[in-house]
Amino acid sequence: MSVAIVKVPFQADLLQQIDRFVDKKVCSRTDIILEATKMYIARKQNWQEIFSLGDSLALENNLSDADVMNEIKAYRRENKK
């Protein structure tokens, strides 16, 4: 696997948060940033899959955005605690 070095500017307060986290763990800034990037990408991909599934189901069932919102509201009313 090839490796590229990337320079990324950080706001000082965010870098301080990273450093405080690194001080508590046995890892480096690079480890934290790489892990955060992987988690971000995975989360975005998961949400994209969820939205794609929702779009497919809405299309299959001939549902409009308004229909979906009405179902969500009805579900929330029924499950209110």
Q: Write the DSSP symbol of residue 4.
A: -
pLDDT single digits (tens) 1-58: 899 999 999 999 999 999 999 988 888 999 999 999 999 999 999 999 999 999 999 9
Tokens 């919102």 correspond to 69
| Residue 63 in this model has a pLDDT that exceeds 80 | yes
- Token pair recorded at residue 10: 């950080």
Tell me the C-alpha to C-alpha distance, in Å, between residue 13 and each of 9, 21, 45: 12, 12, 28
